[in-house]
A = this chain, B = another copy of it.
Amino acid sequence: VSSVTIVDVAQRVGVSVATISRYLSGLTVRQEEDIRVAIADLKYRPSVTARNLKSGRTGTIAVIVPDISNPFFSAIVQGAESAAGDEYMVLLVNTADSNDREERALGKVFGRVDGVILAPNNEMTKSPNFFSNFGLPIVFVDRLTENSENFDSVLVDNVRGAELATRHLIELGHFKIAIISGPMETTPGKLRVEGYRNALKKAKLRAQPEYFQESDFSQSGGYQAMKALLNLAERPTAVFTANNLMTIGALEAIRESGISIPDDISLIGFDDLDFAHIIEPPLTVISRDVRLQGAKAMEMLLDRLRGNVSFPPQHQMVEVQMIERGSCAAPSFGNSHGLGISSSLKNSNPRSNN
């Protein structure tokens, strides 16, 4: 676009292009001052593209996520961007939860970037193979794929987080504990169910199939799953929602049904919501530092890029913590199970609007 090249500057000053190039690289040259003014005068800007071609590097890193509209992935992107520093910029791609789009995205970024931070749609994608072919550095964030153990990754402690949540409910006295889970073919989907089941097992509680709702990590999915749970003859007294969006959906369904948190049902979600402390009751959640997770992914990638390509794949984990607020309480046994009638009193409250 700029059309004024290094030769224009050279001619203007009356030196060779090499001299200009050296000046640009910070080397000491004779006519520094003349060159400076010539550059300013001509409004010369070095061509990034030409430099890329020479150097073989692009100064760009791709961040590929399934759903930017999910605040979780926004935060990942934000963390990665902030950690990129002055040296690298981030190329953002949304795969819209489609494996097809994900693979095309990988094809599209190839050659434009020096590395990739990928949150794959699910574990079935063949992304790793793609990259092992070409030797592009890649780090997986939040989610893995088959064979991805050969690559760097930054996960969260999914199992522990889910166990923490479930145990909390158990300790409050619940035993009819449901889970609204993400897709079992995703890493967090699978592992959070594992944590849930671990906790039940340790408490010698049986994992009842009707309390397991596999959903899709979306708000509407969470809504429908919660609806289903509420329609059960013997509905759970507590539920663990496996991600932020589904927690919102579940909340919606609960609000709509007119039952109250935590009196009628306890709710705990994986990942905090920025309004969790504002609503009534404030939501108890399993939380983690998402931006940090994104930043760590970027840092691992930068390490690779800085030549330390040798060391074996690193697998980092971000800690979780439970933030107790007001959405979990001991179960009330007044109305509960026993004999099918349980839910008859539910429709006693005539809130129809909204």
Contact A68 B58 (CB under 8 A): no
A280 smallest CB distance to B (angstroms)? 6
In whole angstroms, how far apart are the Cα atoms of A275 and B255 in the complex? 12
Known: A48-B111, A255-B278, A278-B279. A77 touches B92 (CB 8 A): yes
Smallest CB separation, A65 vs chain B (Å): 11
**Set B78, B112, B255, B277: member contacting A60, Cβ < 8 A:** B112
Min C-beta distance of A272 to chain B, whole Å: 13
Q: With A and B bound together, what is the CA distance between A107 and B277 in angstroms?
A: 40
Contact residues, A80-94 vs B (CB, 8 A) = 81-82, 86, 89-94
Say yes or no: is A45 at the interface (Cβ < 8 Å to chain B): yes
A282 within 8 A of B: yes
**Bound-complex Cα distance A93 to B61 (A):** 12
A77 touches B68 (CB 8 A): yes
Contact A46 B111 (CB under 8 A): yes
> What is the minimal beta-carbon distance from A222 to any residue of chain B, in angstroms?
12
Provide the residues of chain B in CB contact with A1, threshold 8 Å.
56, 111, 134-136
A133 at the interface (CB under 8 A from B): yes
Which residues of B have CB within 8 Å of A201?
Answer: none
B74, B91, B354: the one contacting A354 at CB < 8 Å is B354
- The count of chain A contact residues (Cβ–Cβ below 8 Å) is 56
User: Which residues in B have their C-beta under 8 angstroms from that of A92?
Assistant: 63, 77, 81, 90-92
A353 at the interface (CB under 8 A from B): yes
Which residue from B58, B60, B94, B354 sits with its C-beta under 8 Å from A81? Answer: B94
Q: Flag whether A348 is at the interface (Cβ < 8 A).
A: no
Instruction: Mark interface residues in A38-57 (1 if CB within 8 Å of B CB, else 0).
Output: 00000101111110110010
Instruction: Check: A108 CB closer than 8 A to any chain B CB.
Output: yes
Which residues of chain B are within 8 angstroms of A280 by Cβ–Cβ distance?
279-280
Contact (Cβ within 8 A) B75 A69: yes
Nearest 3 A/B pairs, CB to CB: A48-B111, A92-B92, A49-B52
Known: A46-B111, A49-B52, A81-B94. 11 other contacts (CB 8 A): A1-B136, A45-B111, A47-B53, A48-B111, A50-B53, A69-B78, A89-B108, A92-B92, A248-B275, A280-B280, A353-B354
21 contacts between A and B (CB under 8 A): A1-B135, A45-B111, A45-B134, A47-B111, A49-B58, A49-B111, A52-B53, A68-B74, A68-B78, A69-B74, A71-B71, A71-B74, A74-B74, A89-B108, A89-B112, A91-B91, A91-B92, A92-B92, A326-B354, A353-B354, A354-B354
